[in-house]
């Protein structure tokens, strides 16, 4: 269910810099990781979009679930080696 909740929350929040969104669950903690190509500035809309996704996912969670979101820079030249569940992946040539 977390996969669908995150995918729904991503609608309208995906920028050209977003390479992938991956999550994992540990106990009652849902950890969502956003991988971006290039620098992520504090003034950038990417942090705002990740925050919007987080809010939507929290609204879908029941009870004592905690949701964490991390925005990580990993340029397109580097492979994404995250072993979590992939919910979004940009097509890369």
Task: Give residue-wise pLDDT tens across range 44-60.
Answer: 789 999 999 999 999 99
Angle at 43 between CA 38 and CA 46, to 5 degrees: 55
Percent residues over pLDDT 70 in the chain? 100
25 Cβ partners below 8 Å, 6+ apart? 2, 31
Question: Which domains are seen in the chain, by residue range?
Answer: 2-89 (3.30.70)
Q: What is the pTM of this model?
A: 0.93
Nearest to 36 by CA among 49, 26, 24: 49
């Amino acid at each position: 269910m977390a996969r669908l909740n995150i995918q729904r929350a991503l609608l309208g929040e995906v920028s050209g810099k977003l390479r992938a969104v991956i999550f994992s669950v540990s106990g009652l903690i849902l950890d969502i990781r956003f991988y971006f190509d290039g620098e992520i500035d504090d003034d950038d809309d990417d942090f705002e979009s990740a925050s919007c996704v987080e809010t939507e996912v929290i609204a879908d969670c029941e009870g004592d679930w905690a949701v964490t979101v991390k925005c990580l820079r990993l340029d397109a030249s580097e492979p994404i080696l995250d072993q979590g569940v992939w919910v979004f992946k940009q097509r890369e040539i």
